[in-house]
Amino acid sequence: MNQTTDKAVSAAQAGEVDTIVNFKPAYITMGVMLVFYVGIRIYEQYFGWKAGLDSFAPEFQTYWMNLMWTELPLEFVAFCAIGGYLWKTRDRNIDAVAPREEMRRILTLIGWLAVYAFSVYWGASYFTEQDGTWHQTVIRDTDFTPSHILEFYLSYPIYIICGWGAFMYAHTRIPQFSKRISLAFLMFFAGPFMIFPNIGLNEWGHTFWFMEELFTAPLHWGFVFFGWFALAVFGVARQVLDRVIELSKEYEKDALAL
């Protein structure tokens, strides 16, 4: 009895020094993302009206097409860099990961997922529905409207990069996700990812089939289908929680092998 108490006390003290729960990097990333998107929103307030109404005008090139030619390569580089970095720094001896360290990594993964979720909010909610109102403001003369440049080619790639980062983090750091592929996690990442190629169909359809701007048109339902895959977050959550329960069972004994 005494021994257990001592151990619990020492574990609690050590817990103060060696924290497991640290969402600070996730909060900072989300904060940066918030500032970035608010900045984008202010930018479009000015340059949507000033330079975004006529895609044949030179100022459209300056303020909108240049934005697109900048963001796309940057996103491609970021996608490769994040995946490459996480793979390069992978845990090569993942079987040896201690329970306490595993718990810490799982919580880091939750930070990644929170960032992913936040980026999905901006892409799938704000910028998607925002496009509905820009559809009613211009008679489109290009696929690359200001709203599309921000929605399809900025906010969607960003959440795909976040999802890819979360997936790769789990795949390279956490034993349960590294040896086998979690089906839920795969759907959770790949479903929203598939929205990106679906944009091709969408742009093609709008360009070559004469369509009025019905937002609920069947052409848009591909986005809906792939959006459902976000529900797989609960599969990931259940897998994580199963593991957390396993790890926690021993908690009183050794405070996650501190």
Nearest CA to 130 among 149, 116, 112, 113?
Answer: 149
Please give the angle made by the CA atoms of 241, 247 and 250, to the nearest 5 degrees.
140
- Residues 116 to 145: which contact other proteins by CB under 8 A? 116-118, 120-126, 128-130, 132-139
Asked if residues 100 and 257 have their Cβ atoms less than 8 Å apart, the reply is yes
Nearer to other proteins, 60 or 145 (CB): 145
Cα(193)–Cα(197) distance, integer angstroms: 8
* Contact pattern for other proteins over residues 39 through 58, marking x by CB under 8 A: --x--xx--x----------
What does 32-77 look like in DSSP terms, one character per residue? HHHHHHHHHHHHHHHHHHHHSS-TTSHHHIIIIIHHHHHHHHHHHH
Identity at 85, one-letter amino acid code: Y
Nearer to other proteins, 165 or 192 (CB): 192
At closest approach, how far in Å is the CB of 146 from other proteins? Answer: 10
- Residues 23 to 42: which contact other proteins by CB under 8 A? 23, 41
- Residues 183 to 212: which contact other proteins by CB under 8 A? 183-184, 186-187, 192, 212
Cα(117)–Cα(114) distance, integer angstroms: 5
Nearer to other proteins, 161 or 255 (CB): 255
**227 counts as binding other proteins under rule CB under 8 A:** yes
How many residues of this chain interact with other proteins, rule: CB under 8 A?
75
**21 counts as binding other proteins under rule CB under 8 A:** yes
At closest approach, how far in Å is the CB of 238 from other proteins? Answer: 5
